[in-house]
Amino acid sequence: MLEILFLLLPIAAGYGWYMGRRSIRQKQKRSRKQLSRDYFTGLNFLLSNESDKAVDLFISMLDVDDDTIDTHLSLGSLFRKRGEVDRSIRIHQNLIARPSLTNEQRDIAMMELGKDYLAAGFYDRAEEIFLNLVQQDDHSEEAEDQLIAIYQVTKDWLKAINIIKSLKRKRQQSLKHLCAHLYCELADEQTDPDLKFKTLTLALKQDSDCGRALLNLAKLYLAQQDIGRSKEMLHRLKKADIELFPEALTIANQAYQAKADQQAYRELLHEAILTGAGASVAITLAQHMIEQGDVQDAEKLILDGLYRHPTMKSFQHLMKMQLQQAEDGQAKKSLNMLAELVEQQIKFRPSYRCLECGFPSHTLYWHCPSCKSWGTIKRIRGLDGE
């Protein structure tokens, strides 16, 4: 009898082990079931626009399972993208407060919290976080990008420049266009002409084709009566950024004021038209020709332009020229009315548009108010523009 009992012992032990395992598995299954049920409830809250209830539920679930950290990071990012920054801040702050987080997980959550603060306009708190993360090799590049973004919003141009200058050569190269604009912003704030020259020269050192720096230097040299250098900048601008050349027309007119410069002035404008400067430059040249008595050449220039690239601006100018020559009568009255109608249409329509996001404007912005790109707002091309 005793032998039989001994024989049954391994079977009893095996059964006990099996039952124990089954109980653990059932417990895990129940926990997972509860977890997925909670997630579904949370998602339902989100879908029915009850975001606060969803956030409370997701935060309470943080203690349940470490695997949910990625989901919480995604949710926080989703809330921030929807503009619900207070909720993303709550999620990320709760994540960071977890003592069981690894250093890597904490850094990722800190990066997200910094982005939340930036989106909410708490720039000093965001700056503090990114300045810490810049020291971490794995996150330094992203933190540097975020710091550059903060300093652009807070207009700390020099701080943004210093971050760019501290980057590796390849990344510096990719940001040279931005860096040149930052120097131009800095120059705009400076009142001392010598300092302005120095800063604009630094902008050109970053980006030798920076049309904004060339335009500002042409203006500055003109104000200093250094006509030769001003002309040099205008020629460089024509080569570097022809779309910006129409902004330099007043400067060109003043730089080439001397009687001996009239032919060179015509040549400059003519070259600019051939390079693709647009209707405004052609109209300025035509006006100059009329002032010099070359009415026929002026008309031919505008007509040629209209055949090649028809624009409302050129059409209106042609009507103005015809009006000056027309004899008084009904035909002149009708032409005058038509010219006024076209003029109103031109005034009503925006002259500039961002090439990046399509933002329309009546004035030239260097920094797009909509998409925050630098130097992407250009004069509109085509029938409504140049």
The residues of the shown chain that bind Zn ion, judged by CB under 5 A, are 354, 356-357, 359, 368, 370-371
Spatial CB neighbours of 83, under 8 Å, sequence gap ≥ 6: 119
Indicate the DSSP class of residue 367. Answer: B
Q: Residue 255, SS3?
A: helix
Min CB(345)–Zn ion separation in Å: 25
What is the smallest separation between the CB atom of 175 and Zn ion, expressed in angstroms? Answer: 18
- Closer to Zn ion at the Cβ: 96 or 357? 357
DSSP secondary structure, 57-80, as one string: HHHHHTTT-GGGHHHHHHHHHHHH
CB of 354 to Zn ion, least distance (A): 3
> Hey, how many other C-beta atoms are within 10 angstroms of the C-beta on 164?
21
Residue closer to Zn ion by CB (options 265, 374) is 374
Task: Give CA–CA dist 347/349, Å, rounded.
Answer: 6
Contact 132, 114 (CB under 8 A): no
Nearer to Zn ion, 151 or 359 (CB): 359
Q: Which is nearer to Zn ion, 303 or 357 (CB)?
A: 357
For Zn ion, which is the closer residue by CB, 43 or 380? 380
Degrees, nearest 5: CA angle 329-331-336: 100
- The structure tokens listed for 68 are 């949910």
3-class secondary structure, 368: coil
CB of 337 to Zn ion, least distance (A): 37
Nearest approach, Cβ of 255 to Zn ion (angstroms)? 32
Q: How far is the CB of 352 from Zn ion (least distance, A)?
A: 11
Structure tokens at 203: 């902008």
Here the tokens at position 117 are 């603060």
Comparison of 325 and 363: residue with beta carbon closer to Zn ion = 363
Q: In 134-261, where does DSSP find H-type helix?
A: 140-153, 157-165, 169-174, 176-189, 193-206, 211-223, 227-240, 249-255
- Looking at residue 316, its amino acid is Q
d(CA 358, CA 170): 30
Q: Which is nearer to Zn ion, 130 or 359 (CB)?
A: 359
In the complex, what is the shortest distance from the CB of residue 369 to Zn ion, in angstroms, rounded to a whole number? 8
Q: Which is nearer to Zn ion, 101 or 357 (CB)?
A: 357
CB atoms closer than 10 angstroms to residue 255 = 26
| Residue 47 Cβ vs Zn ion, minimum distance, rounded to whole Å | 33
Contacts of 227 (CB under 8 A, 6+ apart): 221, 255
Smallest distance from Zn ion to CB 370, Å: 5
CB of 384 vs Zn ion, minimal distance in Å:
18
**CA–CA gap between residue 336 and residue 323 (Å, rounded):** 7
Rounded-to-10 torsion of CA 189, 192, 197, 201: -50
Name the residue nearer to Zn ion (CB basis): 176 or 378.
378
Q: In terms of CB distance, is 317 or 353 closer to Zn ion?
A: 353
Q: Could you give phi then psi for residue 354, rounded to 5 degrees?
A: -75, 125
